[in-house]
């Protein structure tokens, strides 16, 4: 028997979440962002569920090749563009779209020797200050690209730094939207601006191509302002394990390394086959929620490499073999959002789902 820990990928939930994106922005093309191996879910495992998307967006050529190998013939967008001049040959062969965010990429493109008609996304740095051309350069670069024979279609692209909340005393998208509009208002071409937070919180944006990532996997981009229930999203990954031992503690007994948890009174704890070597973060705080047999309980003591402990004080029926859900859904349908668990270690759902390790057995349902 393998260790009982598994990561279950729920195809129906992936589909449901994709439909939420569509419903929010009915006039947009919905691209499914599958970078980082589909946010840790596995590109091959999400492909069927996302086949009804209008395109896929990701980062590297190896992942683009995997999408093509699955039979996808529609648009594939490289969000950070090309990393070397050679990459253009792959883009040509595989029919990939890509962003251009820097001068050097533009030079590579202008030198591309084969007859090609690329679908290019020109990225504006509208305030995030990671990638893109500054607003004052943007129009000139647009003109340059428009005149290149290698370019068939140009889309205006930018990315929000604060779509998930208020900044500077107002909605976090206002300053970037105003800048973007002021620069491109009279230029032709489609627009692509929204990530998940913008799709959910700013329906009025309605750009031509939306780039939905985290929401498709059932995590709320603006937790704790909104939960997945508020956005009608369903967890797409369930990290499930089992109790492999029970300990009866006396008042004053401790649990785990460093004796970080001391029982205040007699209590039962369960030992779970899940540790930081599976991707459950070691710094997760005592009190972070865990489901046992579908009932809410909580983490006690320090997470070790292969095990962690859960409070069973109020769960007299829990026993060795009882189902434990670290995040996601129980077999009976109880829900523990990854956002709540991430909050227990000061991080976000994105990081937890990307960090489930190779030793965990992935299955699909």
Ligand X SMILES: *Cc1c(COP(=O)(O)O)cnc(C)c1O
* Bridge partners of residue 32, in order along the sequence: 56, 212
The rounded distance, in Å, linking the Cα atoms of 87 and 104 is 13
212 vs 281, which CB is nearer to ligand X? 212
The rounded distance, in Å, linking the Cα atoms of 71 and 174 is 40
53 vs 310, which CB is nearer to ligand X? 53
**Of residues 30, 34, 78, 79, which one binds ligand X by CB under 6 A?**
79
221 vs 270, which CB is nearer to ligand X? 221
Q: What mask, x for binding ligand X by CB under 6 A, covers residues 20 to 59?
A: -------------x-x------------------------
* Total of chain residues touching ligand X, rule CB under 6 A: 12
Q: How far is CA 288 from CA 72, 144, 281, 310, 357, in A?
A: 40, 53, 11, 10, 20
Q: What mask, x for binding ligand X by CB under 6 A, covers residues 194 to 213?
A: -xxx-------------xxx
Q: How far is the CB of 31 from ligand X (least distance, A)?
A: 8
Strand 308-311 to strand 267-272: parallel, antiparallel, or no bridges (unpaired)? antiparallel
128 vs 148, which CB is nearer to ligand X? 128
Interactions with ligand X, residue window 162-191 (CB under 6 A): none
Quick check: is 24 catalytic?
no
Structure tokens belonging to residue 290: 């865990």
Query: Where do runs of H (alpha helix) occur along 129-173?
Result: 135-146
Query: Pick the catalytic residue: 104, 257, 260, 331?
Result: 257
13 vs 196, which CB is nearer to ligand X? 196
Q: How far is CA 201 from CA 19, 171, 220, in A?
A: 16, 10, 11
**Of residues 214, 267, 274, 326, which one binds ligand X by CB under 6 A?**
214
Structure tokens belonging to residue 198: 């913008």
158 is known to lie in a ligand binding site: no
Q: How far is the CB of 163 from ligand X (least distance, A)?
A: 8
Q: How far is the CB of 79 from ligand X (least distance, A)?
A: 4
Interactions with ligand X, residue window 108-167 (CB under 6 A): 159
Query: Pick the catalytic residue: 35, 39, 276, 280?
Result: 35
Helices and strands, number each (H, E), in the chain: 11, 21
The rounded distance, in Å, linking the Cα atoms of 72 and 57 is 12
Q: How far is the CB of 148 from ligand X (least distance, A)?
A: 23
Q: How far is the CB of 188 from ligand X (least distance, A)?
A: 22
Beta strands in 201-302 (DSSP E): 209-212, 237-249, 254-255, 261-262, 267-272, 289-292, 295-300
Quick check: is 31 catalytic?
no
Q: How far is CA 323 from CA 3, 287, 302, 318, in A?
A: 13, 19, 21, 9
237 is known to lie in a ligand binding site: no
From the annotation, which residues make up the binding site? 130, 305
Catalytic residue numbers read 35, 257
From the annotation, which residues make up the binding site for substrate? 130, 305
Contact residues: ligand X, CB under 6 A: 33, 35, 79, 159, 195-197, 211-214, 221
């Amino acid at each position: 028997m393998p260790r009982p820990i598994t990561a279950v990928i729920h195809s129906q939930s992936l589909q449901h979440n994709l439909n939420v994106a569509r419903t929010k922005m009915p006039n947009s093309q919905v691209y499914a962002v599958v970078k980082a191996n589909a946010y840790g879910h596995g590109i091959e495992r999400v492909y069927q569920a996302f086949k009804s998307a209008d395109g896929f967006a990701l980062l590297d050529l190896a992942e683009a090749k995997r999408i093509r190998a699955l039979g996808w013939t529609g648009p594939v967008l490289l969000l950070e563009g090309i990393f070397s001049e050679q990459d253009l040959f792959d883009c040509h062969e595989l029919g990939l779209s890509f962003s251009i965010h820097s001068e050097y990429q533009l030079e590579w493109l202008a030198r591309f020797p084969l007859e090609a008609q690329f679908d290019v996304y020109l990225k504006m740095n509208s305030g995030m200050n990671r990638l893109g051309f500054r607003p004052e350069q943007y129009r000139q670069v647009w003109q340059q690209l428009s005149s290149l024979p290698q370019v068939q279609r140009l889309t205006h692209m930018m990315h929000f730094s604060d779509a998930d909340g208020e900044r500077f005393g107002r909605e976090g998208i206002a300053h970037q939207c105003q800048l973007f509009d002021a620069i491109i208002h009279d230029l032709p071409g489609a627009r692509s601006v929204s990530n998940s937070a913008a799709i959910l919180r700013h329906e009025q944006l309605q750009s031509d191509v939306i780039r939905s990532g985290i929401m498709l996997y059932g995590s709320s981009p603006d937790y704790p302002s909104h939960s997945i229930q508020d956005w009608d999203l369903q967890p797409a990954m369930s990290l499930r394990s089992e109790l492999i031992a029970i300990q009866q503690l006396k008042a004053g007994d401790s649990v785990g390394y460093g004796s970080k948890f001391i029982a205040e009174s007699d209590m039962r704890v369960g030992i779970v086959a899940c540790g930081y070597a599976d991707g459950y973060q070691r710094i997760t705080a005592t009190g972070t929620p865990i489901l046992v047999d579908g009932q809410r309980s909580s983490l006690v003591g320090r997470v070790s490499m292969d095990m962690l402990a859960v409070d069973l004080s109020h769960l007299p029926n829990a026993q060795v073999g009882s189902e434990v859900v670290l995040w996601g859904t129980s077999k009976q349908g109880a829900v523990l959002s990854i956002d709540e668990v991430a909050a227990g270690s000061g991080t976000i759902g994105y990081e937890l789902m990307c960090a489930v390790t190779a030793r965990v057995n992935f299955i699909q349902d």
